[in-house]
Amino acid sequence: MAAGGGTKAILAALGANLGIAIAKFIAAGVTGSASMLAEGIHSCADSGNQALLLLGGKRAKRDASEQHPFGYGRERYIYAFVVSIVLFSVGGLFALYEGYHKIHEALEHPEEGLSHWYWAVGVLVIGIVLEGFSFRTAIVEANKERGGASWVEYIRRAKAPELPVVLLEDLGALVGLVLALLGVGLAVVTGNPIYDGIGTLCIGVLLVVIAVVLAIETKSLLLGESARSDQVRAIRQAVEAEEPVERVIHLRTLHLGPDELLVAIKIAVSSRDTADDIAHAIDSAERRIREVVPLHTIIYIEPDLYRESVAGSAGEGVR
């Protein structure tokens, strides 16, 4: 993982979540608020998730081995997928259970309200400020990468998982804090603790939705995604820029990691070209590909003869 935006956003989120988690647990113990307890567990889950992202980034930097000749870049995707599981199970399901339990208690003992509610409100307000700082850091770093893409497009198309994960976690944390504040506030104003339980249920639903979105996106990365469409066009143009390459017969790309790209190309050459001509063309094409796609790129180029009638039906050249 690059030492820039992703790491900076993760460290900002980790620092904020550790501090907020301690404060939330203290407030939950003093007030008896289910929303505060759920938020404390949520912050612990987020802290663990950021540690997992840092660990995944470190392990992905290992050199390629005989058993893993293309390196370990996909470890970043694996750890991001684990994050979605932790967020779903530890954060979301616990909050749903705690919300149900609190509502059940409130229905049986409606007279038992929150004690020392100002602790909860104070911690939640401070938490909103700290999470806002963390979220702002993630937004600033993500803006350096997303270009003109919308936020939905950025989350869906980003090849590096760290920033999208931190963005969604921070967004979930901010909304969760607001929900907890509403739940506690309504419980205090009305004297009915059932609102605290309802707020906790809403937090649980929110975390489950975010976890599912993260799982879907990281699963796609784990399965293997191609380069962006603009990168594929640039590669094709770079290969076809010079003779003796007549055209690209087919082109396949696959991300081995966020910063690692496998490129496999079959090019059409003439039967009149010598082996030296073809070798020189392949070397030149590889150089141009690395210029237009500044990633760690593994390139395989296969020369072939081309017949339009056969290629049009089968997508392959004829030897």
Chain segment 76-91, per-residue pLDDT in tens: 899 989 988 888 887 8
Residue 48 pLDDT greater than 70, yes or no = yes
The candidate with the shortest Cα–Cα distance to 106, out of 200, 213, 226, is 200
Share above pLDDT 70 across residues of the chain, in percent, rounded to a whole number: 92
SS3 266: strand
- Report the run of H or E that residue 130 belongs to, with start and end: helix 117-146
List, in sequence order, every residue forming a beta bridge with 252; answer none if it has no partner.
264
Alpha-carbon dihedral of residues 66, 69, 74, 75, nearest 10 degrees? 20
Residues forming a β-bridge with 53? none
Which of 39, 165, 16 has its CA nearest to residue 99?
A: 39
Q: For residue 300, is pLDDT > 50?
A: yes
Confidence of residue 313 (pLDDT cuts 50, 70, 90): very low
Whether pLDDT at 263 is above 90: yes
Judged against a pLDDT cut of 50, whether residue 318 lies above it is answered with no
**For the whole model, what pTM was predicted?**
0.76
**Token code pair at residue 215:** 């799982």
Cα–Cα distance, 242 to 287 (Å, whole number): 12
Name 258's Cβ contacts closer than 8 Å, sequence gap at least 6: 1, 73, 76, 159, 160, 161
Q: Considering only CA atoms, which of 48, 27, 45, 50 is closest in space to residue 37?
A: 27
- Hey, CA dihedral for 222, 228, 232, 234, is it positive or negative? negative
Model pLDDT for residues 96-134, shown as the tens digit of each residue: 888 888 888 778 776 565 667 778 888 888 888 888 888
Q: What is the pLDDT of residue 308?
A: 58
